[in-house]
Amino acid sequence: MEPKTPSYKYSFRLNEEQNIRFNRMLSDAGQEHNRSRFIVKRVFAERFEVLKRDPTNE
């Protein structure tokens, strides 16, 4: 059994304008399903790629 890695949880509040912007950024990045990973990548300026699939080309 592997030892557990420490994990830390943070929370924050957004006003209405910030929430709209945040949701737009999530949507543009295709990360609506994984907010935590999106936030970590943004906070630590990690590179992430947005891959958009065109269903009309399938």
CA proximity to 39, closest of 16, 17, 9, 15: 9
Domain layout of the chain by residue ranges: 14-45
The dihedrals phi and psi of 44, each to the nearest 5 degrees, come to -100, 15
Q: Which tens digits make up the pLDDT trace of 41-50?
A: 888 887 766 6
**46 residue type, one letter:** E
Q: Which tens digits make up the pLDDT trace of 12-27?
A: 899 999 999 999 988 8
Q: Which residue, chain included where needed, has tokens 């994990």?
A: 7
User: Does this model's pTM top 0.75?
Assistant: no
